[in-house]
Chains A and B, each alone.
Chain A
Amino acid sequence: MSFRRFGHKTIKGKGEELLADTITVNINGVDMKTTGNQTVLQLLSDSSIEVPNVCYHPSLGPIETCDTCIVRVNDELVRSCSTELKDGDVIDTVAKEVKDAQVIGMDRILYNHELYCTVCDYNNGSCEVHNTVKEMKINHQSIPFEQKPDPVDNSHPFYRYDPDQCILCGRCVEACQDVQVTETLTIDWERKRPRVIWDNDVPINESSCVSCGHCSTVCPCNAMMEKGMEGEAGYMTGINKETLRPMIEITKNVETGYGSILAISDMESAMRDERIKKTKTVCTYCGVGCSFDVWTKGREILKVDPQVEAPANGISTCVKGKFGWDFVNSEERLTKPLIREGDAFREAEWDEALDLITRKFNEIKEKNGPDAFSFISSSKCTNEESYLMQKLARGVIGTNNLDNCSRYCQTPATMGLFRTVGHGGDAGSIKDIEMSELVIVVGSNTSESHPVLSTRVKRSHKLNGQKLIVADLRKHEMAERSDLFIQPRPGTDIVWLSAVTRYIIDQGWADEGFIKNKVNKYEEYKESLEQYTMDYAAEITGIAKEDLIKTAEMIHEANSVVTLWAMGVTQHLGGSDTSTAISNLLLATGNYGRPGTGAYPLRGHNNVQGASDFGSMPDRMPGYEKITDEKVRKKYEKAWGVPLPEHPGLNNHEMVAGIHEGTVKAMYLKGEEMGIVDSNINYVHEAYEKLDFFVVQDIFLSRTAEFADVVLPASPSLEKDGTFTNTERRFQRLYKVMEPLGDSKPDWQIIMAIANRLGAGWAYEHPGEIMEEAAQLTELFAGVNYERLEGYKSLQWPVAEDGTDTPLLFTDGFPFPDGKAQFWPVKWTEPVQYEEEYDIHVNNGRLLEHFHEGNMTYKSEGISEKTPRTFLEISPELAAERGIKDGTLVRLSSPYGNVKVQCLITDRVSGKEVYLPMNDSGDAAINLLTSSYSDKDTDTPAYKETKAKMEILKGEGINPLPKINHRYGNPQPQIGVQVQKKWDRDDYIFPGDLVKKERKQHG
């Protein structure tokens, strides 16, 4: 497969950029020096010589459909977007034949697009058709617009397609095929009037479309448009359909040339800026850290508009980030503090709620001491809020009983990295994953849990020859796409990882030079691998020996390897050890510290990384400095002016145990649905009932909040300022899109109000001041401040005081005293054993379209319409054996509880393994089944070691997954838009040829 461009860059092996040579070209009679390795259009755009272009998009590269960017290069008329620059090229952009050819291209576009800009919702200054007509000073349409045979497709809840407005530029197809790589869209070039089609020509809503929104984001006009914009964006676009049509006709009939019409629409467009606000924010649906502009009119969200310069995602989003924000305006939002009174809550004013909290906190502190308190910080909240939470716990109450939800997911990964390489974060950036030669995905359903990050892998795999190995129980999308898919028995990843490492060392394929210079404890580690022969691994994991050898060979053959992992690795008794084994393998093969290499534990929530970075941990201060280190404590004691508790506190898991034991009396929990997402929730709920005083801070009355004595109404990300740190260790700012709803408040203000009532005397007026304080105290992000993070600017820690950041870690060694990493020998821990009657292995995790228990995403009508509830994936074999159909209601019972859920038969799972997505807070909540067993090193619950028995409750039922869900779709993979098919049409002549022909005839 040929190497293709991505944006302006070509991917080259180990990630080095070829040094471009200086060349000389002549543009319109003027000689200039420039670099090779670029297209004529790139050079012209950078030299601010205007050449029209419509289909070209910096994130998609040349598509070659619009024919408006034609210029003359060495006497040939060519498309400047796809013509590589060569030394000595003579370029003409102003000759009459050049202009004539460009006009032909534009005329053909206008034949496909009705211009009614003033009453068009897309008239917001960025319409490429509008702007190009204006720029080319086109006053006439030589070939009048002609309506197309197909009506508007309005079937999808989030966007619509209007063939009459579609200029067939193919940007949407390019994005769907080769950026998002869902491969739903194509253009049917065969029909008389070509159009975009979904799958094999079905309505949008019945296709494989995953609603990621790429198509509407890149559409240059109003053909593919977000429904939130319809009738809302313009001053005159909300008019009745019957009136709008004659209005469009008038506009067209009275036009004396486009010039005057465009002037009026430009005025209208400028007026829109008065009432449409565009604010940059950062998504909160996973750890990828997508940032984008949100367009709002009052509290109404018109659309989410990703920007090319967004560092983590560029133009990419998934369905949740692009369309899943309805919850901010939900009527179920809490708008007043709630106080428990008898068997109900009553709304109260802030003063009363805060008074009550102050009184109770003081009473408990006096009676039981500071360690009777427990604090749970949120991985959905900002860095600044995490910092304040730990400052409140340590500096005001005086306890280290403080944790955040990474305890439920990625703490084992952090542990594995601390042991081996010293930094608990991703080794590089998403760019490194994109450019790597081999990606190994272990226990991660990447395309559903980290959708935008997965698109980078899917693209590189499809276009750039990147290899992909997937190790998972379940045949999810990444597994389907992989070059090698291995299915280890649950909880045995560490065995195959160690065996493959041993095999590599035995074959002499280890990077001995790297190990010698950069890694300690090699001999000790080699000894620990003694047991891990290929035969042993095959026996324990169930993976065929030849597949294990193939894995080792693929790693050996690749010049750069990255490993991505997630909950399939960490949520086990030996989660930290397996994470360590991954890092050991990368060290042994020298895959650290170079572009395209490294370990990437994929962070699950938007700020899992930041919540821990900023000290919401029982044993670490911000920047992972140890609380037991006296020097560290002294630093903070001096800054805060209070003594700090010196012993590490309780983690989440221990807090629950502490409540049961009666040592923990009070809990202050913010933004965490612990009552659903902790394992063995029956046990957790019993603990809540035993608390003397429980304060929960959330945007909804969550299941957890139902147990609270006081519930405080918080504001979600769209209603506040702050920063998040994504999985790449990247700081990004979010700006307040709208005011807090009702009397709700940003979490940092609430924490400060409580602290100040307890006598803290904090006076932060803006989160920027909190960051300033934290950065002063923390070496890891000493150079972070709000100015350096303005707009789409970002920083990846460690950040030096002068603002130098570190996109790629370990290029100058590892953060250990001698600068060397270390191998860390680990052993396999057998998974939790169950009685024989529990014969079904219950795998669990995320779905693309819902977020956790779903109290945000179920508020979206569109998402709920396509995925209304959770379901149990059952293999065809198991279904046949037990007589189960789609829709059969079953009960799963484990020793800890039971769930009731409807079945869906699919070959994504096999044998007696079932998959239960976690998107339910009622009878089907997975954590009714899970146990309190946890990772032996970090107490992360062993969610993935769950077994149950199954009984049928009701044989017949409605299929829980409606037929309009994308999983039933029928994708049509191809590369790009296949412009060659357009050029092959009998009625197509390249405008350049047409101009030349005409010149011959006339001249």
Chain B
Amino acid sequence: MAKAIKKIHKLELTEEEKKKKDLEEVEDALVKNKEAILESLEVINHMHERGITSLLNGMFGQGDKVLDIMVKAADKPENTNTIKNLLLMLGTLGMINVKQLEPILLKVDAGIANMSKEPDTDEKTGYFDLVRSLKDPEINRAITLILSFLKGMGQETTPMQKNTDGPPPNQTQRKDDSLP
């Protein structure tokens, strides 16, 4: 006669057995990952020597608080502006084609070199001297270069713009034709 029963006596491990089981598990893991663990220990040691571990300890120990302070600090206008400027600068730098820039930089360098030969000259350049010097092939080449730079600078670049403050004029939309 096997009556229905509900009671279960759990297989309780003693503290000692639990500890032994846990240790076995850890031991297995250690052996399995020997290389990685030894190397990590070295890294940790270096970090410890430089005080990074205690720094991290403080940060993670108070994780939510630290993150909150960080985020709130970062959210101040001057700081967001810094981050933004950095991102913008990075983006712009990334767009410059160094191959194109190289010859120009060489020319600028030559110009500076030439300038430094006569740092503080008392010589005056008159209007006619200027016109005359256009005939000088070196000066003429420089002027042409500067003019083409100015032309490029005057080009329409709004479509390439990354900054979103204030929509570019040609994309401004009337609110009323775009609600839902």
Contact = CB atoms under 8 A, between A and B. Distances in A.
Q: Do A and B bind each other?
A: yes
Interface of A: 104, 107-108, 111-112, 139-143, 168, 189, 192-194, 239-240, 242-243, 246-247, 249-250, 253-257, 259-260, 336, 338, 340-341, 343-349, 685, 688-691, 694, 701, 703, 706-709, 982, 985, 987-989, 994
B7 A249 contact: no
Nearest to B9: A346
6 nearest CB pairs, A to B: A347-B11, A706-B4, A344-B7, A257-B162, A256-B162, A346-B9
A470 B77 CA distance: 67
Interface in B62-89: 64, 67-68, 71-72, 74-75, 80, 83-84, 87-88
B144 to A, nearest CB: 34
A256 B71 contact: no
Interface string B19-36: 000000000000000000
B54 to A, nearest CB: 24
A188 B84 CA distance: 39
A343 B3 CA distance: 8
B5 A344 contact: yes
20 contacts: A108-B180, A111-B179, A140-B167, A141-B164, A243-B64, A246-B72, A249-B75, A253-B75, A253-B80, A254-B87, A255-B164, A256-B84, A256-B91, A257-B162, A260-B162, A344-B8, A688-B4, A706-B4, A707-B3, A988-B180
Contact of B1 (A142, A239, A250, A690): A690
Contacts of B2: 340, 688-689, 691, 694, 707-709
A346 B91 contact: no
Contact of A987 (B80, B88, B180): B180
Contacts of A338: 8
A108 B175 CA distance: 10
A192 B179 CA distance: 9
Interface string B80-106: 100110011001000000000000000
A978 B88 CA distance: 44
Contacts of B178: 104, 107-108, 111, 143, 987
Contact of A994 (B84, B167, B177, B179): B177
Given A246-B75, A343-B5, A260 B91 contact: yes
Contact of B164 (A242, A257, A703): A257
Given A691-B2, A987-B177, A250 B74 contact: yes
Contacts of A346: 8-9, 11
B123 interface: no
B168 interface: yes
B167 A701 contact: no
Interface residues of B, number: 39
B176 interface: yes
B164 A243 contact: no
A804 B9 CA distance: 53
Nearest to A255: B164
B40 to A, nearest CB: 19
B148 interface: no
A688 B4 CA distance: 9
A140 B4 contact: no
B179 A985 contact: yes
Contacts of B80: 250, 253-254
Nearest to A111: B178
Given A253-B80, A256-B84, A689 B3 contact: yes
A348 B162 contact: no
Given A243-B64, A689-B1, A988-B180, 19 more contacts: A107-B173, A108-B180, A140-B171, A142-B167, A239-B67, A250-B74, A256-B88, A256-B164, A257-B162, A257-B163, A259-B162, A336-B11, A343-B3, A344-B7, A346-B8, A347-B10, A701-B6, A982-B180, A988-B179
A143 B173 contact: yes
A343 B172 CA distance: 81
A344 B178 CA distance: 71
Contact of B64 (A189, A240, A709, A985): A240
A694 B5 CA distance: 13
Nearest to A261: B87
Contacts, number: 133
Contact of B7 (A345, A348, A703, A987): A345
Contacts of A340: 2, 5
Interface string B150-180: 0000000000011110011001110111111
| Residue among B71, B88, B91 with max Cβ neighbours from chain A (10 Å) | B71
A140 B173 contact: no
Given A345-B8, A689-B3, A989 B87 contact: no
Contacts of A341: 9
B11 A343 contact: no
B71 A706 contact: no
A706 B8 CA distance: 10
Nearest to B163: A256
A257 B75 CA distance: 18
Contacts of B176: 987
A989 B87 CA distance: 37
A453 B87 CA distance: 53
A347 B162 contact: no
Contacts of A189: 180
| Residue among B2, B9, B91, B180 with max Cβ neighbours from chain A (10 Å) | B180
A246 B67 CA distance: 11
Contacts of B75: 246, 249-250, 253
A703 B168 CA distance: 72
Contacts of A345: 5, 7-9
A111 B10 CA distance: 59
Contacts of A194: 180
Nearest to A688: B2
A585 to B, nearest CB: 46
A254 B1 contact: no
A246 B163 contact: no
B9 A347 contact: yes
B179 A987 contact: yes
A349 B64 CA distance: 44
Nearest to A985: B180
Contacts of B161: 139-140
B25 to A, nearest CB: 15
A440 to B, nearest CB: 43
B172 A142 contact: yes
Contacts of A708: 2
Nearest to A345: B8
A337 to B, nearest CB: 10
Nearest to A103: B171
A243 B167 contact: no
A25 to B, nearest CB: 32
A150 to B, nearest CB: 14
A241 to B, nearest CB: 11
A239 B168 CA distance: 35
A168 B180 contact: yes
Given A243-B64, A694-B2, A707-B2, A254 B177 contact: no
A254 B3 CA distance: 71
A159 B11 CA distance: 39
Nearest to A189: B180
Contacts of B6: 701, 706
Given A107-B178, A194-B180, A140 B168 contact: yes
A87 to B, nearest CB: 35
A891 B88 CA distance: 77
B168 to A, nearest CB: 7
A141 B172 CA distance: 10
Nearest to A187: B180
A242 B64 CA distance: 10
Nearest to B63: A239
A256 B7 contact: no
B71 A250 contact: yes
A242 B68 contact: yes
Contacts of A344: 5, 7-9
Contacts of A994: 177
A685 B164 CA distance: 74
Contacts of A108: 178-180
